[in-house]
Chain A
Amino acid sequence: MCSLQKRDGVFILTLSGEGEHRFNPPLIDFILSALAHVNQNAHLASALITTNDGKFFSNGLDLQWLSEFSSSRENRSQILVFKFGQLLTALMELKLPSIAAVCGHASAGGFFLALAHDYRFMRKDRGFLYMSEVDVGIVIPPSGMSIVRSKVDSRYLTEIVLGGRKYTAPMAFKAGLVDSVHDNSAKTLEAAIDAAVKMGQKNWNKEVYLQLRLSLFSEPMEKLRLGTKEGSPLLSRL
């Protein structure tokens, strides 16, 4: 599932194990409680880093979970989209700066998870960022679109969202999708910890940091809150 540790005053959330780290309600709930723990102990840390074991950061929503009990498929897709919205909201409302140390493929919901962090560091030798929805045949809800628009240079929106283009780490760096690239997983995580420690030395007021983030991303926050309040649009085709 996932594990949470603290190192050098930095929280590290690892999507653990060799699988694709796809999001279903149990995994999401695990992560949500880890994030709640981080929030409660924000005064003891400088940042949260989210990273992964294995070949995948995350390949997004667990579509298999939807079809486990086909009679309630519609219901399940609503639940899954709703819970994923809760996850992105919790990240955007985190009381600490956040860094995604992407050490493997991040597609669809996995790409969104990375985008919901303040910074993205990526491993250069393996893995790509891929908004796969257009290829898989899934709609991206308004909240997701809003996150993409607020975090991605508009020059690349068409090819990312409508083109389903796969971005290797060097491409992602050039497009400003990630902030830095590193030789391997260990170095990526190290660089993220370094950056987190440096941020901690600035002694920022964390409440102010959170308010600035919420204000900077007020449009996606509004859409995320609408989504988690009124229920989310269904995943089409599923």
Chain B
Amino acid sequence: MCSLEKRGRVYILTLSGEGDHRFNPSTIDNIAAALKEVQDSPDAGALVTTNEGRYFSNGLDIQWISQNPDAHLSTIRIKFENLLASFMRLGVPTIAAIRGHAAAGGFILALAHDYRFMKGDRSVLYMSELDHGMKLPRSLMAVVRSKLLPAASRDVVLGAGKFSAQTALEGRIVDSVYADSAQTLEAAISEAQKLASRGWKKSIYSELRLGVFPGVVEELDAHRDPYLFPASAKL
């Protein structure tokens, strides 16, 4: 699940436990509730999203989906798109403190944050869809395109590249890299505190973010293109 902690004006959302933090309706609802708490909090100034264990997140819960593929796929893509839209609409700056592997939906969640700080070792960013024979709906592609440079988006999506922190930094997929888990989180919280101290108005920050990345929430809200599991998908 996830836990929410407040330190001064900074909220810290932790994808907790040792697993790979996959997204199913109940984990998504958990995260969404935490976001709502941040949004409603009058003195919230910034959000840091991080993880325990070896994984930031490996994306959608394939096991849960395969229990009832058609129905579950349909449910989860709407919930996941809504979650991403909530992050994009949040009235405070967001930093993903990536302290483990982030693949597929987990990578996309990190991209939906304003900033990405990453642990230097034993963390890989990987858009696995091409290797698994899966397409990306245009909603999720919109998030990817909005946050990556052209060469990086090509390498991420069409190359299915596995990015260490250093190569992610070089490709400007992440903003900064730190020696270990503790330093990554510390740096994220410190930056979050700086951002919070600017005293920005929530409605303004949210509007500005939507303006910088036009079309993204519109695509997320539209829920077009099913998140397909073609028969030939290797999962």
- List A residues at the B interface (Cβ < 8 Å): 97, 118-119, 150-153, 176, 179, 202, 204-205, 208-209, 211-213, 215-216, 218
Contacts and interface: CB of A to CB of B under 8 A. Distances in A.
A97 B158 CA distance: 8
Contacts of A213: 158
A218 B138 contact: yes
B150 A218 contact: no
A152 B149 CA distance: 8
Contacts of B104: none
Query: Which 10 residue pairs spanning A and B have beta carbons closest together?
Result: A205-B133, A176-B151, A215-B141, A211-B135, A151-B150, A216-B157, A208-B133, A153-B149, A212-B157, A204-B130
Nearest to A215: B141
A23 to B, nearest CB: 24
A163 to B, nearest CB: 19
B89 interface: no
Nearest to A177: B151
Interface in B221-235: 230, 232
A212 B158 contact: yes
Given A205-B232, A208-B135, A150 B150 contact: yes
Given A151-B150, A153-B150, A215 B130 contact: no
A151 B135 CA distance: 21
Interface of B: 129-131, 133-136, 138, 141, 144-145, 149-151, 153-154, 157-158, 160, 230, 232
A216 B135 contact: no
A209 B158 contact: yes
B135 A153 contact: no
B131, B145, B158: residue with the most chain A Cβ atoms closer than 10 Å: B158
A236 to B, nearest CB: 27
23 contacts: A118-B154, A118-B158, A151-B154, A153-B150, A176-B149, A176-B151, A202-B131, A202-B160, A204-B160, A205-B230, A208-B129, A208-B134, A209-B130, A209-B158, A211-B135, A212-B129, A212-B130, A212-B135, A212-B158, A215-B138, A215-B141, A216-B141, A216-B145
Contacts of A150: 150
Contacts of B154: 118-119, 151, 216
B141 A218 contact: yes
Contacts of B149: 153, 176
A212 B150 contact: no
Nearest to B151: A176
Contacts of A97: 158
B156 to A, nearest CB: 9
A152 B157 CA distance: 16
